[in-house]
Copies of this chain bind each other. A is one copy, B any other.
């Protein structure tokens, strides 16, 4: 299956906007992510659907097919390996490499990807702490601990919840916390066990005790 750069970018966007809930990803969400228009997204989704890369029902959003997911994960593997290369070998800072990796991730060669992987020493996580899929598409496991066990300065990624009640999940949603959200701990507030954290956009947010004691996170390995 031949895929264009653009198709790969759509598949990647759908992958990262997908949730375990099983709901389709909405046209507008994809448009926003890719900085394009909803009408363009509809067109592209139709093309991807004809190629069997996504399952699509009009007005109901879109999901990746098995084949579409494979393509997306292969692109993500390349993206994260190139980011590792740029930081570990060329000395870029981890916050400078995203746009470059967006270009490099479309280079077509399994052989190159695999050689790059071993040149880098088969890293399991990229410079942002995100897991690098292996050749067969499987993601490495990460050690997860409760948010409360971290302290000021620690950088973490939300990777799960120990209480999966609907109410808790909805509350997380309201707090704009989801899987993959990156946070930096600013401080513990001792008197009520809440925690001040900083988001990627620089804004600070206060997380109540209920969240701090239930949220599973993974430490970012820089």
CA distance A21 to B115 in the complex (A): 43
Contacts A86-B112, A112-B86 given; does A103 touch B107 at CB 8 Å: yes
Question: Does A92 contact B115, Cβ atoms closer than 8 Å?
Answer: yes
A31 to chain B, nearest CB (A): 24
Q: What B residues does A90 contact at CB under 8 A?
A: 112, 115-116, 119
Question: Does A91 contact B115, Cβ atoms closer than 8 Å?
Answer: yes
Q: What B residues does A100 contact at CB under 8 A?
A: 107, 109, 112
Q: What B residues does A115 contact at CB under 8 A?
A: 90-92
What is the size category of the interface that chain A forms with chain B? 10 to 19
1/0 contact string of A138-158 vs chain B (CB within 8 Å): 000000000000000000000
CA distance A214 to B100 in the complex (A): 38
1/0 contact string of A69-109 vs chain B (CB within 8 Å): 00000000000000000100111100000001001100111
1/0 contact string of A112-134 vs chain B (CB within 8 Å): 10011001000000000000000
Kindly list 9 other residue pairs between chains A and B, CB separation below 8 angstroms, not including A90-B115, A100-B107, A100-B109: A86-B112, A90-B112, A90-B116, A91-B115, A103-B107, A103-B108, A103-B109, A104-B104, A104-B107
Q: What B residues does A119 contact at CB under 8 A?
A: 89-90
Can you name the residue of chain B whose Cβ is closest to the Cβ of A89? B119
